């Protein structure tokens, strides 16, 4: 079930209290027993039971009988805690539609002082094993690795956006809480979905931006026509959680893959060729 503005608007304060309590108790339990929630929230057993059934209907928590009866947050619940925090902080006043659903994130429009974007990082949850594979930073005894992994992914992207915002065309980051980043809205389309009048200029701009980011210590790691936007005048590079540093052991390979993907796209769509070695030395300066 998708998270909707209505789900959040109609959230009762006790439901939020229970969500926060499950989040806290998930440090100790894989599945949080109902009596622990009663103790922790200081609500009556009946109230907790009633509110839990509402939260399950909204797809925010999950119940399991095995290995023992208990409750666990799922993404809708975790996202809700973060978004409610953004509302309290005055970062957003309303949540709009979901405009993008990737493998590892959901992107929503929202209203703050102007139109903004909320990116909800969602790593894993299908299987704990899948989340752990390839993510060496996950602590061994993490009960809910998807919570940790999603928060970490948001932190990585927020870090890059902050480091790059004054130098490279990236969306300005506004705020981050848990797995959610609020950032400036770019009124444009992805390169994959638009037709450029001056593709050579756009290509040169992308390579120049990639070069500046490289010199600041950031290689995108997932550069493609889906992660570059064009607003009619300028190009913007989005989607930075998987960046690596030029010191990374696979940096050369990752940078080559980024550049090849962009070169191939421009060749396929606009029929112009670029020399990989030349482009690479423009980026690295050697």
Ligand X SMILES: Nc1ncnc2c1ncn2[C@@H]1O[C@H](COP(=O)(O)OP(=O)(O)OP(=O)(O)O)[C@@H](O)[C@H]1O
Active-site residue list: 222
Task: Please tell me the distance from the alpha carbon of residue 226 to that of residue 224, in angstroms, as a whole number.
Answer: 5
Q: Do residues 154 and 179 lie in contact, with contact meaning Cβ atoms separated by under 8 Å?
A: yes
Residue 103 binds which entry of Mg ion, ligand X, none, CB below 5-8 Å type-dependent: ligand X
| 252 binds ligand X, rule: CB under 6 A | no
| 238 binds ligand X, rule: CB under 6 A | yes
* Size of interface with ligand X, in residues (CB under 6 A): 19
Nearest to 277 by CA among 202, 200, 207: 207
| 191 binds ligand X, rule: CB under 6 A | no
| 254 binds ligand X, rule: CB under 6 A | no
Residue 99 binds which entry of ligand X, Mg ion, none, CB below 5-8 Å type-dependent: ligand X
Q: Do residues 110 and 95 lie in contact, with contact meaning Cβ atoms separated by under 8 Å?
A: yes
| 227 binds ligand X, rule: CB under 6 A | yes
What b/e sequence results for 249-280 when a residue is b if at least 16 CB atoms lie within 10 Å of its CB, and e otherwise? eebeebbebbbebbbebbeeeeeeebeeeebb
What one-character DSSP code corresponds to residue 32? B
Q: Do residues 58 and 9 lie in contact, with contact meaning Cβ atoms separated by under 8 Å?
A: no
> Which residue of 52, 55, 74, 117 would you call a contact of ligand X, by CB under 6 A?
117
Q: Which is nearer to Mg ion, 95 or 228 (CB)?
A: 228
Residue 237 phi/psi, 5° resolution? -105, 120
> Which residue of 60, 107, 168, 213 would you call a contact of ligand X, by CB under 6 A?
107
The footprint of Mg ion (CB under 5 A) covers: 227, 239
* Helix or strand run (H / E) with residue 105: strand 105-111
Q: How far is the CB of 193 from ligand X (least distance, A)?
A: 8
| 115 binds ligand X, rule: CB under 6 A | no
Q: How far is the CB of 185 from ligand X (least distance, A)?
A: 5
Interface residues with ligand X (CB under 6 A)?
99-100, 102-105, 107, 117, 119, 171, 183, 185-186, 190, 222, 226-227, 238-239
């Amino acid at each position: 079930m998708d998270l909707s503005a209505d789900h959040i608007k109609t959230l009762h304060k006790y439901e939020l209290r229970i969500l926060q309590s499950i989040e806290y108790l998930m440090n100790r339990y894989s599945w949080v027993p109902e009596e622990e929630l009663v103790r922790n929230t200081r609500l009556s057993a009946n109230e907790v039971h009633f509110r839990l059934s509402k939260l399950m209907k909204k797809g925010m928590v999950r119940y399991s009988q095995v290995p023992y009866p208990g409750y666990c947050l799922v993404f809708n619940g975790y996202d809700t805690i973060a978004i409610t925090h953004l509302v309290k902080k005055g970062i957003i006043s309303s949540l709009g539609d979901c405009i993008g659903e990737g493998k590892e994130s959901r992107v929503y429009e929202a209203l703050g002082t102007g139109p903004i974007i909320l990116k909800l990082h969602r790593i894993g949850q299908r299987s704990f094993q899948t989340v752990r594979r390839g993510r060496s930073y996950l602590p061994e005894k993490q009960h809910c690795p998807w919570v940790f992994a999603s928060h970490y992914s948001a932190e990585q992207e927020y870090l890059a956006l902050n480091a790059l915002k004054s130098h490279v065309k990236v969306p300005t980051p506004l705020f981050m809480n848990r797995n959610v980043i609020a950032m400036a809205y770019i009124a444009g389309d992805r390169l994959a979905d638009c037709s450029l009048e001056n593709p050579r200029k756009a290509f040169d701009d992308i390579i120049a931006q990639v070069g500046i980011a490289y010199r600041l210590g950031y290689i995108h790691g997932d550069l493609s026509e889906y992660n570059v936007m064009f607003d009619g005048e300028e190009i913007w590079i989005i989607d930075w959680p998987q960046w690596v540093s030029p010191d990374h052991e696979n940096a050369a390979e990752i940078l080559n893959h980024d550049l090849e993907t962009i070169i191939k796209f421009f060749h396929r769509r606009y029929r112009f060729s670029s020399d990989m070695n030349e482009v690479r030395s423009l980026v690295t300066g050697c």
